[in-house]
Each structure stands twice: as C-alpha cells, then as structure tokens.
C-alpha cells in the first residue's frame, strides 16, 4: 500500500551568532604528513576531511582506547568499582613497553589502573584490567572485538589489550574516530581522565604523552600510540564555542609530527566549519489530526536532537522539509514513526531523521470511531 504524505517546509532553528554575510570561501585542506588521517565532528559524526581513513594499519597504543572504553562500560553498569583491588599477575608485571610499574603479587586500585592506562599508557595496567574483567587477555580481546562490531568499526580487529605488535591486529583512522566519539558521548562522567597531564604511581611521576594538552587549552583528550610498525599516532579531541572535533593521525614520523599534524587538522576544521543544532530531542515539530482516537490531536517530533556540520556562512541556505503520513489513525504508540524530516543544502539532503509520535493515543469508543470513519471517507474523497 502506497502511503500518502503531507509535505511542509519547517523553520530551521539555527542560531546565528554573527551578522549575515556572504558564504565563506574555503581553501583546500592542508597537506598532512601521515599515512592516514581524518577530522570528525563528535556530535554529528560528519567527516570534515580525511585520507585513507578506512585503510587498515597497526594502531599501537590507540588500542588502549578500547581497553579503557570497556572499563568505563563495566564501571557504568556497576559490574566493577573504582575501589576494587585488582591482583597483578606475572604476565601483567612482565608486560614490555610503556609501563605503570605495578608489581606482581600486589593489588592495585582499579581507579589507579584506569589512570595508568589512559595517562601513562601502561601495558602492565592494560593486561591487569583485561584479566580482571574477562579472566584472560585473550578473552578480553574477544570482548573488544564484540564492542568494535557493535560500534561499527568495520576495519578493526584486536588481538590484545595493549596494542603491542601482533599479527592480524589492526584498525583504521575512521574506526578510531568512532571509538573516540563513543568514549566522549557514551561515558562523559569518565572522560575527564583523558585530560589529566600527569599521574604518579609507586613514586614515579609520568606525563601524558599527548603534547596538545599543554599547547591548546581546548584539547582535552584522548590517546597517543607508537611502535616501529605503526609510527607515531594520535587521537585528539577539542571543544571550541560548543563545537567538538575529533582528529586522528596514524603513521607520522615523530612525537612532534603527530602533534603538529593534529594541530593543522583542528585549525582548519574549526576555522572553516560550524556545527548547528537544529532541533532538540522531543521538540514538537508538528501537531496533526489523529482519527478515531480518544483525542484528535497528535504531537510529532524527534526522539534525538538533530544537528549538522556545514561550511561556515551557509546556514541561511538550509531548508527543512517535513514529510508526514497524510492520515494517522488511533491507536498510536509513543515512538511510532509517521514520516521524516529532511534538511537540504543546495538541493542536497545533508541530514534526515524519523518523525515519531511524542505521545500515545488510545482508540476512541465505538460511536466516535464510526463518526470518524464517515468523516474520513469524505475527507479522502475530497482530497
């Protein structure tokens, strides 16, 4: 059965913070010295610029972002607590590479291990947490891959919790941005750890390896990585004027290069792009007729906020079109879809979201249903 639609143009709720002006002329993106890179808006998921973002490369210690993400998930579910004392195994104690310097046979607060993973990039801390949550690092790697699949990380496979070199251990710049976005949006109560510059454990003070935390006050995370195979990698996030960006560089040639190339990406994207929040979650977009219901009016809107990322200076060219079912009959369940809203820019769809019932409407009594059936017959005949 073909649905009939009512098409309406909506007023876009774009807040303009500066006087109207001609559209910004955007220069070509800067040249980035990395094997792969990208910039993503954390709110909309819009990819602003990228290169080789879906190709698979060794992620080195960017892997630990998934380790910390799973830890944050387990904390939020109440399965573990920051005050838990985690036993340190021989395997964790002997983990090579960057270390938190925990000792075999001791017990360490889970909150300290969390900081050891995120701030100090401790391989020993990562193994200890993996064993505590899943029983073994191999079982934890399986859990990591399940989460990667759930998050849509199609070019990622984890073989360990640390990022130490392993066959068939890989990820992509796009997948790392997806993971960073999930860390920021899913568990914001834990995100503050990623901005801490130092952590001291066992009387050893170590700095966060993300140099941008010292150079740019808007940067508040996330993670560095380095192995000979991976090169120098960095996933960073910054927030300016309500807009949050995520940058990823993989395979740069030095610690300084990964910081500089990330700065280039942030400078370009913040200068020439802007995120606009168009509609709030549960905002009423339309109040429409509902037939055969206990009430004859139905409020329609969005279940989630709708925002878009576009070049600066183009907000006045946006147009929203609301496509709704022509006839809506009770009963209606809250959340039931009755159309969509499409946001257009230069005759192209730049965003689309389902329009749903914001409330339930029960079916009316028999007499009202009969009356509405007669009225609907003539309504359809006329229209």
Residues labelled catalytic: 61, 64, 121
Residue 137 contacts by C-beta under 8 Å, 6 or more apart in sequence? Answer: 91, 127, 130, 131, 160, 161
What are the φ and ψ backbone dihedral angles of 234, each rounded to 5 degrees? -155, 130
Three state DSSP letters for the chain: CCCCEEEEEECCCCCCCCCCCCCCCCCCCCCCCCCEEEEEECCCCCEEEEECCCCCECCHHHHHHHHHHHHHHHHHHCCCCCCCEEECCHHHHCCCCCCCCCCCCCEEEHHHHHHHHHCCCCHHHHHHHHHHHHCCHHHHHHHHHHHHHHCCCCCCECCCCCCCCCCCCEECHHHHHHHHHHHHHHCHHHHHHHHCCEEEECCEEEECCCCHHHHCCCEEEEEEEEECCCEEEEEEEEEECCEEEEEEEEEECCHHHHHHHHHHHHHHHHHHEEEEEEECCCCEEEEEECECECCCEEEEECCCCEEEEEECCCHHHEEEEEEEECCCECCECCCCEEEEEEEEECCEEEEEEEEEECCCECECCHHHHHHHHHHHHHHHHHC
Can the peptide bond before residue 49 be classed as cis, meaning omega within 30 degrees of 0? no
């Amino acid at each position: 059965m073909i649905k009939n639609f009512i098409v309406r143009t909506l007023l876009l709720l774009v807040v303009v913070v500066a006087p109207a002006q001609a559209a910004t002329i955007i220069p070509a993106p800067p040249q980035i010295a990395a094997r792969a890179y990208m910039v993503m808006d954390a709110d909309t998921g819009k990819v602003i610029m990228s290169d080789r973002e879906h190709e698979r490369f060794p992620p080195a210690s960017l892997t630990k972002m998934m380790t910390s993400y799973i830890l944050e998930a387990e904390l939020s579910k109440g399965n573990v607590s920051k005050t838990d004392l985690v036993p340190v195994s021989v395997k964790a104690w002997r983990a090579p590479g960057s270390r938190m310097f925990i000792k075999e046979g001791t017990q360490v607060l889970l909150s300290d291990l969390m900081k050891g993973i995120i701030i100090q990039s401790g391989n020993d801390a990562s193994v200890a947490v993996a064993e505590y949550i899943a029983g073994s690092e191999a079982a934890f790697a399986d859990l990591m891959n399940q989460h990667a699949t759930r998050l849509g990380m199609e070019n990622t496979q984890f073989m360990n919790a640390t990022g130490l070199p392993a066959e068939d251990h890989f990820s992509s710049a796009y997948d790392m941005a997806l993971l960073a976005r999930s860390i920021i949006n899913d568990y914001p109560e834990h995100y503050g750890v990623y901005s801490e510059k130092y952590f001291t454990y066992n009387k050893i003070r170590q700095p966060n390896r993300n140099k941008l935390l010292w150079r740019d006050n808007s940067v508040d995370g996330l993670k560095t990585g380095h192995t000979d195979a991976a090169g120098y990698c960095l996933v960073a996030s910054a927030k300016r004027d309500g807009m949050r960006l995520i940058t990823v560089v993989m395979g740069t040639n030095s610690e300084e290069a990964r910081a500089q190339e990330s700065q280039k990406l942030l400078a370009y994207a913040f200068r020439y792009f802007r995120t606009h929040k168009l509609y709030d979650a549960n905002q009423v977009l339309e109040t429409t007729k509902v037939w055969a219901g206990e009430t004859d009016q139905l409020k329609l809107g969005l279940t989630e906020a709708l925002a878009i990322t576009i070049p600066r200076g183009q907000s006045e060219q946006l147009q929203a079109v609301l496509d709704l079912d022509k006839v809506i009959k009770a009963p209606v369940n809250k959340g039931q879809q009755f159309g969509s809203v499409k946001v257009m820019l230069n005759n192209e769809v730049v965003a689309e979201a389902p329009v749903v019932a914001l409330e339930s409407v029960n079916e009316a009594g028999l007499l009202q249903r009969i009356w509405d059936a007669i009225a609907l017959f003539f309504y359809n005949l006329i229209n």
